[in-house]
Each structure stands twice: as structure tokens, then as C-alpha cells.
Amino acid sequence: MSSEPDTTSTQDPPAALATVHRTTTQVSGASRALLHGAAVASLLAVLGFLIVAAVVFAGPGNTLDHDVATHVVAWRTPMLTALAMSLAWTGNFPPLFVVGLIALLMGIAFSSIRRESLTVTVILLCDLVVSTTLKSIFARPRPDASLALLHLHSYSFPSGHSLVATSLFAFLGFLAISRQRRTGARVLAWTATTLWVLAIGLSRIYLGVHYTSDVIAGFLSGIPILCAAIVTCSPAPSAHDTSSHPTSASPHDTSPHDTFPDRRA
């Protein structure tokens, strides 16, 4: 009795090496594209920040900011005020300290999420340093206290809450999006993250504790931190995702003579 034929076929060594080289090139190309994209986004954000600062401190931006701050008062309602207060609380020091501490402990305890958890802690430290440094450099006073619902004594430019929203909250959204397989879930996570970030910035204007340009500058100053975090925690492209050629031929690719040997002999 003849033995069953082997229905699988493998590539010749040169072909296999070529496939490995092609896949490696595609993976490194995807990594380079991510790095280039992050670098360009960061440079554009820095340039945008400098433009906003120039408009505010050497142009008409200050007048426009005061006009917006005055008109916002007419939009206030008890429900919107309660919502703005809740959004503002998410960017305050106590909850952020708790988030950073939990992330640090989780990074130490669980190796599977160590990189992401420690990145959250590093983001918070970067936010603190960047916000404190920029506020000290520009030393812009807060809006008129008579228009504010909260009374803060630190400087105004840029908005620390907006910086945290762009760097930390957007990064948390990125982690949620990257773990979703279904397109609908990814779109939902992306939409929720965008609305959350924008709502925090708008809440600072609504509460009268920041000018519009403060919020825009805060968003822009958080983008380089966000880009660095995404590059650090982006999953490396796999060979399965980048290679359109299988490393071994499927049974359907074999010829009939390979699958069913001639038994006439």
C-alpha cells in the first residue's frame, strides 16, 4: 500500500530568505514612517505654539481673547457649569496624582503592560515640567477675576488642563483604540477621545480661568509629548500584517500532480 502524499510544500531556501528580507524591510519601513510622522507633527505643533505666542504677546490676540472671555458669560447655565466643573476636576492635581501612582504600581506589578503604564507616569511628569516652565516664561495673568467661576493664582499661558488632555487623555484613547478589532469600536473610541479632549479645553474658557489662546497653546504643547508616547508604545508591525506573500505555499497552490501523484505506474 502506498503512503499518503505530502500535501504541503515549502519554499526553497533562497525564496524563503527573500521573503524574510522583504518582510523585514516592510516592518522597518512602517517604523520609519511612524517616526517621521511623529517628528513632523511635533515640529508643526512647536511652530504653531510659537505663532500663537507671537500673536498673543506681539499682536491682536490679547484683544480677541478678552472679547471671547466677555461673551462666554452670556452662555452660562447651571447645567453647563456643573459639566465644566466636572471636566475641570479630571485635570486637577489630586486625580492625576492618583492616576500616575496607579500606573506606576501597575507597571511594576504587571510586565505585560509595563511599558504603557510607565509611559503614563512619564507623561504626567513631562506635563508638570512643561506646563510649569512655559507658564513661568510667559507669565501671563489669568483673565479678569470678575468673569471667572474659579479663582486661581498661577499663570495662564498655556493651559495646563489642555496640555494634559492632549498628552495623557489622548494617549489613553490611543491605547483603547489600538486594542479594538472592530472598525465601529475604533471609531467610537476615537470620537469619545476627541470630544473629551476638546471639552476639557472648552471648559477652561467657559469657567473663565483661561483665554482661548491659552487653550490652543496647551493643545499644541501637548502634541510632542503625545507623539513620543505613541512611538514608544506602538505595537511593532508583524510579518503577518506587512507581508502579502506567505512564507509557504498553500495546498491550493500546488499542482494536481503534486497533490495526487500518478498511480498508473
Which CATH number goes with the domain that contains 216?
Answer: 1.20.144
- By the 8 A CB rule, do 242 and 30 touch? yes
How far is Cα 61 from Cα 64, in angstroms, rounded to an integer?
A: 5
**Cis peptide bond prior to 224, omega within 30° of 0:** no
Mean pLDDT of the region 21-27 = 48
pTM attached to this predicted model: 0.75
Assess if residue 10 is contained within a domain: no
Burial 146-182 (b: 16+ CB within 10 A, else e): eebeeeeeebbbbbbbbbbbbbbbbbbbbbbbeeeee
For the cut 70, the answer to whether the pLDDT of residue 23 exceeds it is no
Higher pLDDT, 237 or 166: 166
**Domain range holding 96?**
27-235
Assess if residue 63 is contained within a domain: yes
For the cut 80, the answer to whether the pLDDT of residue 209 exceeds it is yes
Assess if residue 155 is contained within a domain: yes
For the cut 60, the answer to whether the pLDDT of residue 142 exceeds it is yes
Assess if residue 248 is contained within a domain: no
How far is Cα 55 from Cα 141, in angstroms, rounded to an integer?
A: 16
Assess if residue 93 is contained within a domain: yes
Assess if residue 261 is contained within a domain: no
Q: pLDDT-derived band of residue 92, with 50, 70 and 90 as boundaries?
A: confident
For the cut 70, the answer to whether the pLDDT of residue 214 exceeds it is yes
Mean pLDDT of the region 157-174 = 93
For the cut 90, the answer to whether the pLDDT of residue 112 exceeds it is no
Higher pLDDT, 253 or 224: 224
Classify burial at 193, counting beta carbons within 10 Å of its beta carbon; exposed 0-12, middle 13-18, buried 19 or more: buried
Assess if residue 7 is contained within a domain: no
Other Cβ atoms closer than 10 A to 110: 11
For the cut 80, the answer to whether the pLDDT of residue 20 exceeds it is no
| pLDDT for position 181 | 83
Top-confidence range, 72-76, 93-97, 165-169 = 165-169
Q: Cell for 84? A: 465644566
Domains contained in the chain, number: 1
Assess if residue 251 is contained within a domain: no
How far is Cα 167 from Cα 121, in angstroms, rounded to an integer?
A: 12
For the cut 70, the answer to whether the pLDDT of residue 233 exceeds it is yes
